Amino acid sequence: MSAIRTVGVVGAGTMGQGIAQVCAAAGFSTMLYDVNPEQVGRALQGIEENLAAAEKKNKLRHEDRLATLSRLQAASTLEALKVDLVVEAAIERLDIKQELFKKLEALNSNKTIFATNTSSLSVTRIAEKLGTPSRCIGLHFFNPAERMKLVEIISGMATSPEVVASIQEFALRIGKNAVMAKDSPGFIVNRVARHYYVESLKLLENRVAEIPAVDALLRSAGFRMGPFELMDLIGVDTNLAVTTSVYEGFDRAPKFAPSPIQQQLVREGRLGKKTGKGFYDYSAKTSG
């Protein structure tokens, strides 16, 4: 079983930031890389703010906050990521993930594990461009990664049992509850969750109810967030990409069909909280 001591996280968006924080807090030397260096800076600042807030609420000791930050480092180039485990949290596109892992395989030892945080793409397809696809596995975190306890572990057709065992142990060490899932579109959670979003969007298309009413009713039914609030948090574009992937993965089954409303928001650049507008307008809140 491969011993994991160092972790490289690729992609410094909301998910990558959370994954890096979790790994560093669990004692792993963690490097964070993004094609946009400014994004890495924002992510590290976000982690500092999260940890400071936790300390202020007495949920984190001062020395633990400092220790976590000491284990975090920005990687200025992809070549710097010579690690035991790569966790990829890049854009949800097969070609980008394949090319990324191919480059990283050439840079690393033959023991490095390549874990993809894909929400819906086939782990087998992502691994097929690697010289050793047995080292590729799915490790799907949920947003926000620093708080959500669940992770899905997905074996591709070539993933070795040793890599599965290493990732199961790693998940325990970072305090996550790991569930094994088959390599099928959407895995478990995102396959089931599609209808939370798709049916809510159909209500909007058919003018059955307005956005705040749908969110309020579903919160009152026990969900922590309504579907439109959750899409804005995740990113309307990210959510659409997952829906589209599941839709294509199931031979365009009508029940998974993406919504024209969501597609229009993406075309307009209204991607949710990260852009200030999505289903809701956050511009007044973000401006001060």
Active site residue 119: yes
Mean per-residue pLDDT, 118-129 = 95
Q: Which of 181, 202, 221 is the last residue of a domain?
A: 181
Residues 199 and 81 in one domain: no
Kindly report, residue by residue over 192-238, the tens digit of the pLDDT. 999 999 999 999 999 999 999 999 999 999 999 999 999 999 899 99
Active site residue: 108, 117, 166, 190, which one?
190
Whether 286 has a pLDDT exceeding 60, the answer reads no
Secondary structure (3-state) at 87: strand
In a domain, 13, yes or no: yes
Burial 110-130 (b: 16+ CB within 10 A, else e): eebbbbbbbbbbbbbebbebb
Gap between the Cα atoms of 94 and 245, Å rounded? 10
Select which of 108, 117, 122, 140 is catalytic: 140
Catalytic status, residue 140: yes
Q: What is the residue range of 270's domain?
A: 191-278
Catalytic residue among 108, 119, 122, 245: 119
CATH of the domain at 213: 1.10.1040.50
Residue 287 scores a pLDDT above 70: no
Establish if 186 belongs to a structural domain: no
Cis ω for the linkage preceding 161 (within 30 of 0): no
SS3 of residue 238 by DSSP: helix
Residue 158 lies in a domain: yes
> Could you say which of 122, 157, 181 is where a domain stops?
181
Known catalytic membership, residue 155? no
What total number of domains does the chain contain?
2
Q: 152 catalytic, yes or no?
A: yes
Same domain, 205 and 174: no
Asked whether residue 166 is assigned to any structural domain, the reply reads yes
67 and 131 together in one domain: yes
